[in-house]
Amino acid sequence: MKKHHTMDTASIMISLAVNDDLFDHLTRINESMIGCVDLQSADPVLLKQVVHDFPTLCIGSSLITTVQQLEECHRSGINFMTSPGFLPHLVQTASIYEIPYIPGIATLSEAMQVSALGHSRVRLCPSSLSLCHRLSLYLPHLRLYPSHVSWHDHHHYLALPNVKTVSLVDSTPTEWMSVQRNMSVLA
């Protein structure tokens, strides 16, 4: 039986745009050891279809900007939601209803605000290795999920103690298979 993936068990996540290749790419990822996908969509109908077609993948949406989207995407059955920025009311709503939401941040001040709201996960959007280092020093309790990381830089992020998962952008199926080979060697 194929393993069900979660954000906390995956070190690599693939960020996918919604286009004509989406389901082909999801099939390839599903066959790999990666197991976690961040879809650049907040369309609950599409997300529900993806969850149905790929039940073992950890599926998320990275385009949450309103409470309505947060609620609709949660009802679609996806595993997590993120946003491209920080809005306190999204963090508060997710906390009240125990919705798996990771707010996007771009500064140390935003990370401090998220922490003050009792949240322990942040998505760096856009990611910066320098900011990850500073967050590791000043807010070591935060779990970091850098986004838009290039294939060539991902290992630098994963070397930091509080980076849980990196989201690769503009990666290719060939690179996904390389990740799979590297993970097989480590297993």
Backbone angle region of 103, left / alpha / beta, with phi > 0 → left and psi within -120 to 50 → alpha: beta
Indicate if the pLDDT at residue 8 is higher than 50: yes
Rounded Cα distance between 102 and 114, Å, is 10
- Specify the 3-state DSSP secondary structure of 81: strand
Q: Is residue 97 part of a domain?
A: yes
Domain containing residue 36? 12-186
Q: Is residue 60 part of a domain?
A: yes
CB 169 within 8 Å of CB 146? no
Number of domains in the chain: 1
Integer CA distances (angstroms), 51 to 36, 64, 143, in order: 12, 17, 25
Tokens describing residue 25: 């790419």
Q: Is residue 164 part of a domain?
A: yes
- Specify the 3-state DSSP secondary structure of 61: strand
Rounded Cα distance between 97 and 84, Å, is 21
Tokens describing residue 151: 């294939």
Of the chain, the percentage scoring pLDDT greater than 90 comes to 73
Q: Is residue 34 part of a domain?
A: yes
Residue-wise pLDDT for 97-150, tens only, equals 999 999 999 999 999 999 999 999 999 998 999 999 999 999 999 999 999 998
CATH number at residue 35: 3.20.20.70
Q: Is residue 7 part of a domain?
A: no
Q: Is residue 54 part of a domain?
A: yes
Q: Is residue 2 part of a domain?
A: no
Q: What is the pLDDT of residue 172?
A: 75
The pTM of the full predicted model, rounded to 2 decimals, is 0.87
